[in-house]
């Protein structure tokens, strides 16, 4: 059954014991993904009528936290799949939904996402209408799960519209793949994709949405993305306590709980008002907290935390990852303000 408690148990009993090995070897064991699929977590973002669990956004966020605090590379790769599920569940293209959604919910079909080419101004990935679909040119700068997933939900810009399509995550005419070497989560198999005349057929188009609508819907993504640094911070507090520093651990845990409440309240406010400035601030708080908490693990453990395979040095690198993952300009500005010594 898909519950926060079950997610935490899987994180503690399976994911976390493997985390250092995954980091060192740069490979997520296939059994991690198979287990999350068998337990129903691949359908986390699906509505109940399509086989998803009947849980709240707050519960989903806690599940993201649990997995991120278990094995960050596994969690980050799995999290991308939820964007594919959402895209298939909400598309008006019923044939795409009927063909793929059930398999995506079960984890039989596994996916990744790439929105970073369409959102920036100017955009980095362009969609030009042609007979039978769109021609894609440009780049998708940060694509996670290449070689691990079956399909990719890809966004490109056509004027002030965002074209959302489902492509096979495999070499094809018009696609060049550049593997990326990351400081953390290397096992996520993240690449940069270059498109030169790639044909996206009409039957693989999920949606065509005004850019303004896409930007207005970012608050839910920011809330879930904010769960990743909170998950790291939660794991750090446990390790600090185990190192014999319970007072510091309790203080950091209280901060984590406060930031979580801040994220939830900011999401509710942005949903009601359309103003997402407060959720950007809360997301910045989450990333800054993760970095401090990871530094706390290194400090509490001492010199052993600097050894290859130690949790401390890995968590610092993973916390660094959350400083930039899905950071829109307002979030980036907020993080920089906090790192410069201002509470914002």
Reported as a single tens digit per residue, the pLDDT across 182-236 is 999 999 999 999 999 999 999 999 999 999 888 877 777 888 899 999 999 999 9
Residues 223 and 317 in one domain: yes
- The pLDDT score that the predictor gives to residue 327 is 66
142 in a domain, yes or no?
A: yes
Domain count, the chain: 3
344 in a domain, yes or no?
A: no
Domain boundary among 210, 239, 256: 210
> What is the pTM (predicted TM-score) of this model?
0.95
CATH number of the domain that residue 55 is part of: 1.10.540.10
Full residue range of the structural domain in which residue 54 is found: 4-106
Most confident of 271-280, 291-300, 335-344: 291-300
Residue for token digits 């010594």? 341
Domain boundary among 106, 138, 156: 106
Pairing outcome for strands 125-130 and 133-143: antiparallel
Burial 101-137 (b: 16+ CB within 10 A, else e): bbbbbbbebbbbbbbbbbbeeebbbbbeeeeebbbbb
Residues 231 and 134 in one domain: no
Domain boundary among 182, 210, 238: 210
Residues 63 and 19 in one domain: yes
- The pLDDT score that the predictor gives to residue 310 is 96
Residues 98 and 115 in one domain: no
- The pLDDT score that the predictor gives to residue 344 is 52
Residues 138 and 54 in one domain: no
- The pLDDT score that the predictor gives to residue 214 is 86
């Amino acid at each position: 059954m898909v519950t926060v408690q079950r997610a935490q148990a899987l994180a503690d009993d399976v994911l976390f014991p493997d985390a250092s090995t995954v980091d060192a070897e740069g490979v997520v064991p296939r059994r991690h993904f198979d287990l999350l699929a068998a337990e129903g977590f691949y359908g986390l973002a699906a509505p109940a009528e399509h086989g998803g669990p009947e849980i709240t956004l707050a519960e989903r966020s806690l599940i993201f936290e649990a997995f991120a605090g278990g094995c960050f590379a596994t969690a980050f790769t799995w999290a991308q799949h939820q964007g594919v599920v959402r895209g298939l569940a909400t598309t008006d293209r019923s044939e795409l939904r009927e063909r793929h959604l059930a398999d995506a919910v079960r984890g039989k079909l596994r996916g990744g996402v790439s929105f970073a080419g369409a959102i920036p101004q100017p955009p980095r990935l362009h969609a030009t209408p042609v007979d039978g679909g769109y021609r894609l040119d440009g780049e998708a700068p940060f694509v996670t799960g290449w070689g691990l997933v079956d399909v990719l939900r890809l966004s490109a810009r056509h004027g002030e519209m965002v074209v959302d399509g489902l492509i096979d995550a495999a070499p094809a005419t018009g696609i060049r793949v550049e593997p990326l070497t990351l400081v953390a989560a290397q096992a996520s198999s993240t690449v940069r994709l270059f498109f030169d005349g790639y044909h996206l057929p009409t039957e693989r188009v999920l949606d065509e949405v005004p850019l303004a609508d896409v930007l207005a819907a970012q608050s839910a993504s920011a809330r879930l993305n904010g769960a990743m640094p909170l998950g790291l911070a939660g794991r750090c507090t446990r390790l600090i306590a185990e190192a014999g520093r319970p007072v510091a651990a309790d203080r950091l845990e209280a901060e984590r709980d406060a930031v979580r409440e801040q994220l939830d309240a900011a999401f509710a406010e942005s949903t009601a008002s359309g103003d997402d400035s407060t959720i950007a601030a809360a997301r910045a708080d989450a990333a800054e907290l993760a970095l401090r908490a990871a530094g706390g693990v290194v400090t509490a453990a001492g010199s052993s935390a600097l050894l290859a395979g130690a949790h401390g040095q890995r968590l610092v690198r993973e916390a660094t990852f959350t400083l930039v993952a899905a950071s829109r300009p307002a979030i980036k500005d907020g993080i920089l303000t906090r790192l410069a010594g201002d509470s914002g």
